[in-house]
A and B are shown apart, each in its own frame.
Chain A
């Protein structure tokens, strides 16, 4: 029925349901705030930096080829860090109650901008745990690589440290609340649009003129029930007299009753 989108009508509808939209938006913001601060368990992140350097003792001359080799090596090492060989040892050492798979998910390995530095990040529900796992993994990796590759080319550049007042990386309450506000706003607008579409009643003069092609003779506003009578009707006394005077005639007219009643 209503095929064209009317921006003016849309804005009017939004204006009318302002309260609803604001309420829904606030509800979403409050919900995400509550969820962020109480429901979602915080996640902390600790990072160690590992330096990988091939051939340190053997060859003093650095060529670009060496660096390339190193980079390829780093690719290999990235895989090795997250391999069961390392992680099983970490789990055993720390007596963690989890599988290699779940630990792998918590560890991310990156090398910074084609450098030979690899960052090892671990997420954990406590800062202490994250630091411990990160450092242990780095250590185990350093030890294991010697055994596996027969070279000692891994050094720990910066061990993870527990800061005095660690901030969890997740959840980010402000971010969540912004997302909540956006989702809430979209939701409120959506509800408004649906309500507008569902309401098939006549609500404005335009409705009549557009749809039925009828002209408006006028509108009558709702009569205020508190309106004080300016002019008393004062009909009753006279009317009652008329009414009783009429009743004689009525009897005559109605002598024969009209049909049946139902």
Chain B
């Protein structure tokens, strides 16, 4: 179990796009932002799912940082913790997890009430809420479609952070409802075979795969120019 103290130390590293806006990583998130915008040109508001094949590949970190760089552009962004099994967003932003997605899917409370301010301009957060016994069934209900429709009215970018796609079915359901899915791959850790399986499960869910984010990518000469540019 993580202590509160450790969480506090982890946080600045996790939200690097906020804490170190000139870092290489922040710049790389902005590159991804641009590429996502190019791959979904026609959409007025974009509902994007972040998932990965296995756990701990960096979904939540990627989603949180992407939310920050999207918010930088002045668009309204909502970051949702759709991992109702192992929620992390409330820890990353050091907030409570009393209300959130699970409550809204049970039609308890309104979106406006449940959304929390992140402290970052244009970025709102929706926690996972109380851990329900049946996350997959909750997501499969019509309530999700209605909720997404409601979100689209207020927000330009709606980012879902989800459980690993090969472990539970939640992400498949979500991927089907989202405009696009970003697959997070942990360089040097993710097995090729599981990435292929993840791709295939997304295909069966009729999800649009926007592309892959290679997380934990080893630094090499190729990305040194990011550094030099700002110095």
Contacts and interface: CB of A to CB of B under 8 A. Distances in A.
- The answer to whether A and B assemble together is yes
Interface in A113-156: none
Interface in B183-210: 183, 185-193, 195-196, 199, 209-210
Contacts, number: 193
A7 interface: no
A201 interface: yes
A256 interface: yes
B13 A225 contact: yes
Interface stretch (B16-24, B75-83, B143-151, B155-163): B16-24
A48 to B, nearest CB: 67
Contacts of A112: none
Contacts of A223: 13, 16, 23, 25
A217 interface: yes
A261 B103 contact: no
A222 B217 contact: yes
A211 B11 contact: no
Main secondary structure of the interface of B (DSSP, over half): mixed
Given A250-B96, A258-B106, A221 B223 contact: yes
Contacts of B216: 220-222
Contacts of B117: 238-239, 242
Contacts of A229: 12, 19-20
A68 interface: no
12 contacts: A201-B191, A217-B35, A217-B212, A218-B28, A218-B31, A219-B28, A223-B13, A231-B18, A231-B21, A250-B99, A253-B99, A253-B114
Given A214-B212, A218-B214, A261-B133, 14 more contacts: A208-B185, A217-B211, A219-B213, A220-B214, A223-B13, A227-B13, A227-B20, A233-B119, A235-B93, A239-B116, A239-B118, A243-B95, A250-B96, A261-B131
Interface string B100-141: 001100101100011011111000000001111110000000
A249 B99 contact: yes
A213 B195 CA distance: 11
A238 B223 CA distance: 36
B7 to A, nearest CB: 12
Contacts of B217: 219-222
B11 A221 contact: no
- 8 interchain residue pairs of minimum CB distance: A235-B119, A218-B32, A250-B98, A219-B217, A217-B211, A253-B109, A215-B211, A219-B214
A253 B190 contact: no
A212 B195 contact: yes
Contacts of A212: 192, 195-196, 199, 212
A3 B210 CA distance: 28
A218 B35 contact: yes
A213 B212 CA distance: 10
B214 A200 contact: no
Contacts of A235: 93-94, 118-120
Contact of B188 (A203, A219, A243): A203
A261 B22 CA distance: 42
A235 to B, nearest CB: 3
Interface of B: 11-13, 15-16, 18-25, 28-29, 31-32, 35-36, 39, 58, 62, 65, 93-96, 98-99, 102-103, 106, 108-109, 113-114, 116-120, 129-134, 182-183, 185-193, 195-196, 199, 209-219, 223
A110 interface: no
A202 interface: yes
Contacts of B32: 217-218, 220
B212 A221 contact: no
A234 interface: yes
Nearest to B193: A200
Contacts of A246: 96, 98-99, 116
A230 B191 contact: no
Nearest to A257: B130
A220 B20 contact: no
A214 B119 contact: no
A227 B21 CA distance: 11
A242 B28 CA distance: 31
A248 B130 CA distance: 16
A203 B215 CA distance: 10
